[in-house]
């Protein structure tokens, strides 16, 4: 028996760079697409845990048809919630990444009809792990949206998603999870852009 997921999901991997000439596109690889709980566990049990990846590696789990890139048409108006875990030795990153993935594929991060969650990401970096959740918008209505939201409603929806993500990552109330728009990230050349919202 297979338990179907609400969406199909694709796992992507960013290889750690081997030489100087490597660019983002050479390193980003599509791994596998799945549509059931059982397939997810089969994949999960057979891939390298995050804690064993090299520096500059990423896993990205995105809805099928969405590339884990700012430039994707379904990401380009969006942003992300993210948190950096700076104590790499003590943080249970494999567990946290598992729960981030389960919250995405189990659709527990957003309400029916919110239509915001695009995917989740884990980055292995020198000095920290970063876990992120990419959203379709930054709270504003975007071209082509059928339902219109006021900026206040959009902010409420994104903050509710951020708070659930913060729980999934088992953070304390005093910890701060930050949201930033991808266009800010693209312009600053990095993810460390000005936070738009915090929870």
Q: Which residue, 45 or 190, has its beta carbon nearer to ligand M7G? A: 190
Q: Which residue, 69 or 94, has its beta carbon nearer to ligand M7G? A: 69
Instruction: Return the residues of window 97-116 that contact ligand M7G according to CB under 6 A.
Output: none
Q: Which residue, 101 or 123, has its beta carbon nearer to ligand M7G? A: 123
Instruction: Return the residues of window 65-84 that contact ligand M7G according to CB under 6 A.
Output: 69-71
Question: Is residue 189 part of the contact set for ligand M7G (CB under 6 A)?
Answer: yes
Q: What is the rounded CA–CA span in Å between residue 163 and residue 147?
A: 23
Q: Which residue, 103 or 180, has its beta carbon nearer to ligand M7G? A: 180
Cβ-contact 127, 85 below 8 angstroms? no
Site string for ligand M7G, 19-48 (x = CB under 6 A): -----x------------------------
Q: Would you give the DSSP letter of residue 142?
A: -
- Given candidates 10, 123, 135, 137, which one binds ligand M7G under the rule CB under 6 A? 123
Instruction: Tell me how far, at minimum, the Cβ of 28 lies from ligand M7G, in Å.
Output: 8
Angle 151-168/93-105 helices, nearest 10 degrees? Answer: 140
Q: Tell me the backbone φ, ψ of residue 12, rounded to 5 degrees.
A: -120, 155
**β strands within the chain, DSSP E:** 4-14, 28-36, 58-63, 79-85, 117-125, 128-135, 178-181, 197-198
Cβ-contact 30, 82 below 8 angstroms? no
Binding residues for ligand M7G, rule: CB under 6 A, are: 24, 69-71, 123, 125, 189-191
């Amino acid at each position: 028996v297979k338990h179907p997921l609400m969406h199909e999901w694709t796992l992507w991997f960013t290889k750690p760079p081997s030489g100087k000439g490597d660019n983002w596109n050479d390193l980003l690889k599509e791994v596998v697409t799945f549509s059931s709980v059982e397939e997810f566990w089969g994949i999960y049990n057979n891939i390298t845990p995050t804690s064993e990846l090299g520096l500059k590696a990423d896993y990205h789990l995105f809805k099928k048809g969405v590339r884990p890139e700012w430039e994707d048409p379904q990401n380009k108006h969006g942003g992300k919630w993210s948190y950096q875990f700076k104590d790499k030795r003590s943080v249970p990153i494999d567990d946290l990444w598992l729960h981030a993935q389960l919250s995405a594929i189990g659709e527990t991060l957003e309400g029916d009809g919110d239509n915001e969650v695009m995917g989740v990401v884990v980055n292995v970096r020198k000095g920290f792990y970063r876990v992120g959740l990419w959203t379709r918008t930054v709270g504003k209505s975007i071209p082509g949206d059928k339902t219109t939201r006021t900026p206040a409603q959009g902010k409420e929806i994104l903050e509710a998603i951020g708070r659930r993500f913060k729980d999934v990552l088992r953070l304390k109330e005093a910890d701060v999870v930050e949201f930033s728009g991808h266009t800010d990230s693209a312009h600053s050349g990095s993810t460390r852009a000005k936070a738009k919202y915090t929870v």
